[in-house]
Amino acid sequence: MSSFDFAIPTLGPCTTPSPIHLSREKGDFISDYVSDVQRVVYQVDVDLSQPPQAADLLEAAGPREMVYFDPAKVGAAIVTCGGLCPGLNDVIRSIVLCLWHRYGVRRLLGIRYGYRGFLKEFGFDAMAITLDHVRDIHKQGGTILGSSRGYGGRTQEIVDFLEQNSVNQLFVIGGDGTQRGALAICQEVMRRGSKIAIVGIPKTIDNDLSFVQRSFGFETSVSLAVDAVAGAHIEAAGAYNGIGLVKLMGRESGFIAAQTALACNDVNFVLIPEVPFVMQGENGFLNLLESRLKNRHHAVIVVSEGAGQHLLEQVPPGGDASGNKKLGDVGVFLKREISQYFKSKAVEIGVKYIDPSYIIRSAPANANDSVYCTRLGAHSVHAAMSGRTGLIVSLIHDRFVHVPIKLAVSERHVIDPEGSLWRDVIEATGQPGLMSG
């Protein structure tokens, strides 16, 4: 019935009754097991003028009545990769609590500093995790395991580690590149015929994953970005021709910048990777900024780190250790271009440039993100216990679902420049729909 080509691999049939006592009956006020026939419709936009299409369906996540693994024989490992993001500790904590309290698993490994902790050259950097390690960690930002970029390609060594340490469930918390690594690990595990479940928890502060309704930490990030922009606005308004310039996270997707601008109401220009713009010309950015200053004597600009890359001087090719392409620094570029432009016109201005990225990334999750992370972690445990592998756990239409990693990494979630979100940003800022010179 689904039009997706992807299926979720499993390690085998579920023959062990779950230690979690739920019910199959409706009306007894006892929570029900999730059944393997439950699905969630992915695509909900319908155009009545078009012929109806078969629905794309995603499998519902949650605790099954029968599980694949005997809990007494489970060894689980958790690894966090890439940049920090609010909520990492909530996810770690939730995985540990669910394994420990719900399934009775006691053998838990925390891999230190990302994939590198699997490697011999870094001393196989792992720690046994007990309840004491995770007690109040959701109240602090960051990850108690530490993180790093890269090393995802060391598939053989990672699978060796898993086998040698009798790890049969691996929880990988990380972004696009990290999940590609997890997919490779999963494939190698399958090739070897090992019975190790690989479950990904998608992490992307930029909110740029396609099969994830919103990424954890995103709301927290926006609320902190709002504070930074509020400061930029106060600084801008406090000086004659003051300009507040805030660079926010968003390598390929401008969601944080867009959502922040909508929340602030003080932003005059939002520049995002999805919408090209030019600096010069009557309808170019600099001229529009000048008009704004003439009218109001201050301006606030929010720019995604990935915006305007076509305007920057040649950035050396290659990428960072996570496989992300290198970006030129658009914040520094704009600050310089703006200063030069007004200097050449002998207009007195002052640019206050704010880059709040580290302050945002390292914050603890707010209440809503914390709940989300807690549930995400628990659902990833249920997925692993059921013997599923090569999947991420995700939220779609407020339901937790299973998505094959292959599908999840196949396309990036970006702002539709012609859709309602960007339209509302244009309305809120008053900037032209297109700065095209």
Query: What amino acid positions are annotated as catalytic residues?
Result: 206
Relative to beta strand 399-404, strand 391-396 is antiparallel
Name which of 66 and 237 has its Cβ closer to a copy of itself: 237
- Shortest gap between Cβ of 224 and a copy of itself (angstroms)? 8
Site mask for a copy of itself (CB under 8 A), range 297-316, x = bound: --------------------
Q: Which is nearer to a copy of itself, 208 or 235 (CB)?
A: 235
Interface region with a copy of itself, contact rule CB under 8 A, candidates 8-16, 140-148, 160-168, 174-182: 140-148
Stretch that binds a copy of itself, among 66-74, 144-152, 200-208, 281-289 (CB under 8 A): 144-152
Tell me which of 5, 26, 295, 346 binds a copy of itself, using CB under 8 A: 26
Give the position of tokens 């009557």.
282
Q: What is the DSSP letter of 101?
A: I
Question: Which of these ranges, 135-143, 159-167, 171-179, 202-210, lies near a copy of itself under the rule CB under 8 A?
Answer: 135-143
Alpha-carbon distances of 297 from 234, 241, 242, 283, 290, rounded to whole Å: 13, 4, 7, 19, 9
Site membership for a copy of itself, residue 155 (CB under 8 A): no
265 DSSP β-pair partners: none
- Taking the least distance from each CB to a copy of itself, the nearer of 17 and 123 is 123
**426 is a site residue for a copy of itself (CB under 8 A):** yes
Query: Which one of the spans 9-17, 192-200, 220-228, 328-336 is the region binding a copy of itself (CB under 8 A)?
Result: 220-228
53 sits near a copy of itself (criterion: CB under 8 A): no
**Rounded distance between C-alpha atoms, residue 325 and residue 347, angstroms:** 37
* Calpha distance 380→144 (Å, rounded): 19
Reduce the DSSP state of residue 316 to 3 states and report it: coil
Of residues 105-134, which lie at the interface with a copy of itself (CB under 8 A)? 112-113, 116
Q: Say how far apart CA 255 and CA 273 lie, in whole Å.
A: 10
Report the C-alpha gap between 181 and 172 in whole angstroms: 9
- Residue 147 found at the interface with a copy of itself (CB under 8 A): yes
Measured distance CA(341)–CA(291) in Å, rounded: 13
Among 276, 278, 323, 412, binds a copy of itself (CB under 8 A): 276
In whole angstroms, give the CA distance from residue 175 to residue 409: 9
Residue 58: which H helix or E strand, with range? strand 57-60
Min dist. Cβ of residue 7 to a copy of itself (A): 13
What values do phi and psi take at 355, rounded to 5?
-125, 95
Residue 91 sits in the site that holds a copy of itself (CB under 8 A): no
28, 121, 282, 313: which one binds a copy of itself (CB under 8 A): 28
Cα angle vertex 27, ends 24, 32, to 5°? 30
Give the interface segment with a copy of itself, choosing from 5-13, 168-176, 259-267, 304-312 (CB under 8 A). Answer: 259-267
Beta carbon nearer to a copy of itself, 187 or 357: 357
Q: Counting Cβ atoms within 10 Å, is residue 119 exposed (0-12), middle (13-18) or buried (19+)?
A: middle
Of residues 262, 272, 385, 408, which one binds a copy of itself by CB under 8 A?
A: 262
Q: Phi and psi for 128 in degrees, rounded to 5?
A: -70, 135
Q: Does 434 bind a copy of itself (CB under 8 A)?
A: yes
CB 98 within 8 A of CB 383: no
Shortest approach of a copy of itself to residue 187 CB, angstroms? 27
CB-CB contact of 80 with 174 (8 Å): yes
Choice between 4 and 358, CB closer to a copy of itself: 358
Does residue number 352 form part of the binding site for a copy of itself (CB under 8 A)?
yes
Asked if 342 and 289 count as a contact pair (C-beta separation under 8 A), the reply is no
Q: Exactly one of 64, 102, 247, 406 binds a copy of itself (CB under 8 A); which one?
A: 102
User: Which range, of 178-186, 193-201, 218-226, 334-342, touches a copy of itself by CB under 8 A?
Assistant: 218-226
Write down the residue that tokens 């719900």 correspond to: 102
* Per CB under 8 A, 240 contacts a copy of itself: yes
DSSP characters over 339-399: HHHHHHTT---EEEEE--HHHHHTSPP-HHHHHHHHHHHHHHHHHHHTTB-SEEEEEETTE
Using rule CB under 8 A, residue 243 touches a copy of itself: no
The answer to whether 262 and 224 have CB atoms below 8 angstroms apart is: no
Smallest gap from Cβ 166 to a copy of itself, in A, equals 26
Window 362-421: residues binding a copy of itself (CB under 8 A): 362-363, 366-368, 370-371, 374-375, 378, 397-400, 417-420
- CB of 359 vs a copy of itself, minimal distance in Å: 4
